[in-house]
Amino acid sequence: MKKPVFDTQIDFNGQQQPATHTSTRKWNSKIDSSHLVTDQQQTILLSHRKIIRRWNRLSRLQRSLVYALFLITATVLVLFYSSKLNAANVNKNSDSNIVVEPLKNVSLVNEPVENVVQPKKTVVESEVNERPVFTGPSNARQYAVVESFKHAWKAYKEHAWGHDNLKPLSGMAFDWFSLGLSIVDGLDTAYIMGLTEEFEEGRQWVKNELVFTKNKDVNFFEVTIRVLGGLLTNYHFTQDEMFLNKAKDLGDRLMAAFSSPSGIPYSDVNLGTKTAHAPEWSHYSTTAEVTTVQLEFRELSRASNDPVYEDAAAAVSEKIHQLPKKHGLVPIFINPNTGHFLPHATITLGARGDSYYEYLLKQWIQTGKTINYLLDDYMTAIEGVREFLAKRSSPNKHLFIGELSAGSESFNPKMDHLTCFLPGTLALGHANDLPDWHMTMAEELLYTCYLTYAVHPTFLAPEITHFNLASATNDMYTKTADAHNLLRPEFVESLWYMYQITGNTTYQDWGWQIFQSLEKYAKVPNGYTSLANVKSEKPLQRDMMESFFLSETLKYLYLLFSDDRFVIDLNKYVINSEAHPLPIHKN
């Protein structure tokens, strides 16, 4: 209800008082005013006659100028009034497009699924994001990593150019999606390292050879983080419209994944036919995969000024936000037809679960810390990790993150190497004002990840480490089936986060130990190869160099060894799950 409006005056003692209107002349009914009216009328008649007499004295030209001045004044007034009406309409329309903030996450295990809030159209605002300047290596360690990249790139160029991966032992190519993954994935690493020749030859291949019209199924998640993410980063670094045009073409084709009844993406997309479907082996998509595309699709919308990509991907996060969880922890499979999790599936921060948690925090940061339910979901999940998944080994009480097994949901004391992303993510959260215990957990878990390297004669970590909960001798052990090393980046990724955030050079030293081990055991004449058994002093080699070795492992090592911790500033960038930096936006 509107309050009555009073005319007020402010005195200099700080008091507001109702204004008193006074007049020097008050009407008195006893005074006859008729003669005053007559005098006024006579005065008006005389004035009119004078005006007419003066108008008749004007020349025709002078009269025309007066007419023209009158018309111009009238036109200006009409235009001004029209612009006011248009502005009012625009403001009214703007008010109707305000995005309603989703509900905060209050879902627990037995909470029923609420009706999913339909996503509002995202308002895409153009922003000018400052681009970083890269000057090349500045010390001996960085130079060593650059030489490793050049060695791997040269071998790939000679034996597998244009194919997805190099098989370095046999000198042959390997195709997964036939999208030149190693080029697109590794190109921004070359740019960051200042390798202009390698970057230019890769750019030319992308320009002339990279097409998305083949009638071939690809994995929605892998192509998004590797190819779409790589194209967007290279566009941001160079402002070369070719990269953005390729990204839009790919994004349009990947949109087919969202065509499921629930909007939860299908796992497989045929880029040529623009169709999508569930994998042949299951009706389910992987939870981590469907929740680890939002950074890339949001950036594609911001770069192209088209909200359709962001709307589709953000709606997935909103729908999963509404689903019941075990104190923020999610099963690793979800049905794109029904939009529900597979009941009693494994809960893990390793394979198929890891990056769901990572992207909750990073989406919140990417959008200027403006979407509260993402932060709520992340905070609840990390508390769930602490309560249900974090345990200490015996006898030395090393902190590790285990799993809840499928079916029984009993605790399984195994930790994937993939889980070693978590210390970096926890540290990033703490750097953005999350609780101190997040950093304490990050430091302890990072040391455990370091030990998974240090306890082996190769000083390289296995794919999976098992922990003892009641042992008098060894805290951890590695099964032969889990002893392979794929040259994964997660631990050196966390080392870089911790180094940038804390400045502690111990993390650089740990990274240097690992780099030297890669040089000793994984380097071969034609690049770098994965290993079969890190427990052996002479490990067998597996003949595969994944694209993430170029995109992530060597990139993180290069950044870790930099004298300038902020070469890529975490206050300005979020790093996607394939180590492609994307700019942080204000909203």
Supply the DSSP symbol for 172: E
Torsional sign, CA 132, 137, 138, 144: positive
> Mutual orientation of helices 294-304 and 241-254 as an angle, nearest 10°?
130
- Catalytic annotation, pick one of 311, 354, 377, 552: 354
Neighbours of 433 (CB within 10 A): 7
Contact between 326 and 347 (Cβ < 8 Å):
yes
Contact between 409 and 344 (Cβ < 8 Å):
yes
CA distance 418 to 178: 25
Give yes or no: 147 in active site: no
352, two tokens: 């198929």
What is the total residue count of the chain?
587
313, two tokens: 């991907």
Q: Where are the beta strands (DSSP E) in 144-263?
A: 165-167, 172-174, 217-219
Residue whose C-alpha is closest to residue 482's, from 455, 454, 461, 453: 461
Q: Which amino acid is at 192?
A: I
Enumerate the β-bridge partners of residue 42: none
CA distance 462 to 542: 14
Distances (CA, A) of 123 to 65, 120, 258, 445, 587: 50, 9, 20, 39, 9
Residue whose C-alpha is closest to residue 324's, from 102, 104, 103, 110: 110
**DSSP of 23-53:** -S----TTS--HHHHHHHHHHHHHHHHHHHH
Neighbours of 460 (CB within 10 A): 25
288, two tokens: 């981590």
Give yes or no: 563 in active site: no
Contact between 465 and 476 (Cβ < 8 Å):
yes
Query: Is 577 annotated as a binding-site member?
Result: yes
CA distance 445 to 465: 13
**3-state DSSP assignment of residue 527:** strand
- Element at 204 (helix H, strand E): helix 196-209
- Catalytic annotation, pick one of 164, 463, 543, 546: 463
Distance from CA of residue 363 to its chain's centroid?
5
Residue whose C-alpha is closest to residue 423's, from 399, 405, 404, 403: 399
Contact between 251 and 307 (Cβ < 8 Å):
no
Q: Where are the beta strands (DSSP E) in 92-155?
A: none
Distances (CA, A) of 44 to 47, 51, 418: 5, 11, 94
Query: 3-state DSSP: the chain helix, strand, coil percent, rounded to 5?
Result: 50, 10, 40
**3-state DSSP assignment of residue 466:** strand
Give yes or no: 310 in active site: no
Give yes or no: 358 in active site: no
CA distance 418 to 349: 8
Peptide bond into 395 cis (omega under 30): yes
CA distance 423 to 436: 13
Known binding residues for Ca(2+) are: 577
Could you tell me which residues are annotated as the binding site?
A: 577
- Known catalytic residues? 222, 354, 463, 490
